[in-house]
Amino acid sequence: MVLWTAAHAACAAPPPVARIADARAEYRAMFCAVVQRDDPDADCSDKLRRFPDEAAAAVDTPPIDSAPAVSVVIVGGLFGECLPSVPTFGDAAARLRASGYRVSHAPVLGRASAEANAAIIRAHVAGERAAMPALPLVIVAYSKGVADTMTALVAYPELADSVGAFISVAGVVKGSHAADRMVWLYGATAARLPVNRCAQSDGGAVRTLTREYRTNWLATHRLPDEPLYFSIVGLPTPARMSSVFSVFQRRLAPIDRRNDGQLIYSDAILPRGALLAYANADHFAVALALPAAGLLGVNRNDFPRAHLVEAAVRIAQARLISSDSSTAFSRSPMRPPASSHTP
């Protein structure tokens, strides 16, 4: 594993990621249409970060009033079950259900390894497909849930035939420098959570988040060609970063200040598929509707998560019913957001 230092951060930006398609313009159009459907006066411009290499929207936006044509499975992240009153994408799930979508949460374990949760995801998807065999299935995964889902898709090849699309949101794809360098702080955070509500597990949760583990896994495993893959990355401006992440952000900044308080932006992009957005939200705000009381210093939690997820699901749905999804996106290589821009 490469040893990352401040010197690396000062180097030129990494080369384009040739296998990642750019869907930011298409997604921005859909996201804004969904936001302004519910509030015509809403300003959606600051919710998604825009960088100079993002193309202008030049495609037709799929209709936002189309009938639900997919079922949705949500996969939560680390310690997700420890806060049952704050389900991952709970507000998004409620909105999708109100619109007629079938939505379920895979019962992954908050303190289990990726391998253990992969088996749970497989069983849950099998149940959903049996219940609704005619509907394509879309997985929306968050943080460690992305690593769990990637593991499931590789470990159980039949799962790829059952899943139409996989949407990663702030996903631990290439591992977390925070998990590598600040295990003590993870422990302190975990100690402040009501972990008695979490089922006992194999104890491999944090181990499978480390950079060493994830990069080794990616080097030895290949994601199947299907389903469709989409990535949404958290990349907040300083004003949108909750104070709980201030220590993490300072520790990550010498490596790359383009992070969500837990993940470097480039570590949260799936190795294939399309990049949908850089969300102006930190690692919690992008997925968890935490209490307004400022739990653990979470003071920048207001973000339109429901619209973020609905827009992604509608993009995936449109591609799944398209006669030729292979031409749906711009095929120009993805470049990282310029490091000269404010993170």
Placement of tokens 């970063």 in the chain: 241
The whole-number pLDDT of residue 101 equals 95
Q: Which of these ranges, 49-58, 163-172, 225-234, has the smallest mean pLDDT?
A: 49-58
pLDDT band at residue 192 using 50, 70 and 90 as cut-offs: very low
Q: What is the pLDDT of residues 136-150, one digit of tens each?
A: 999 999 999 999 999
The whole-number pLDDT of residue 127 equals 96
Q: What is the pLDDT of residues 14-47, one digit of tens each?
A: 334 557 899 999 999 999 999 999 999 999 989 9
The pLDDT of residue 301 is above 70: yes
The whole-number pLDDT of residue 111 equals 78
SS3 labels along the chain: CCCCCHHHHCCCCCCCECCEEECHHHHHHHHHHHHHHHCCCCCCCCCECCCCCCCCCCCCCCCCCCCCCCEEEEECCCCHHHCCCCCCCHHHHHHHHHCCCEEEECCCCCCCCHHHHHHHHHHHHHHHHHHCCCCCEEEEEECHHHHHHHHHHHHCHHHHHHCCEEEEECCCCCCEHHHHHCHHHHHHHHHHCCHHHCCCCCCCCCHHHEHHHHHHHHHHCCCCCCCEEEEEEECCCHHHCCHHHHHHHHHHCCCCCCECCCCEHHHHCCCCEEEEEEECCCCCCCCCCCCCCCHHHCCCCCCCHHHHHHHHHHHHHHHHHCCCHHHCCECCCECCCCCCCCC
Max CA distance (Å), the chain:
53
Q: Which residues pair with 165 in a beta bridge?
A: 138, 228
- Give the whole-number percent of the chain exceeding pLDDT 70: 76
Cis ω before 15 (30° cut-off from 0):
no
The whole-number pLDDT of residue 75 equals 97
Average pLDDT over residues 146-173: 96
Which comes out higher in pLDDT, residue 298 or 325? Answer: 298
Q: What is the pLDDT of residues 79-127, one digit of tens each?
A: 767 677 788 999 999 999 999 999 999 999 887 888 999 999 999 999 9
- Give the whole-number percent of the chain exceeding pLDDT 90: 58
Tell me the two tokens of residue 32.
Answer: 């804004």
Average pLDDT over residues 169-193: 70
The pLDDT of residue 282 is above 90: yes
Q: What is the pLDDT of residues 245-275, one digit of tens each?
A: 888 888 889 999 999 999 999 999 999 999 9
8 A C-beta contact, residue 30 and residue 311: yes
The pLDDT of residue 286 is above 80: yes
The yes or no reply on domain 17-39+67-327 and CATH 3.90.1150.10 is no
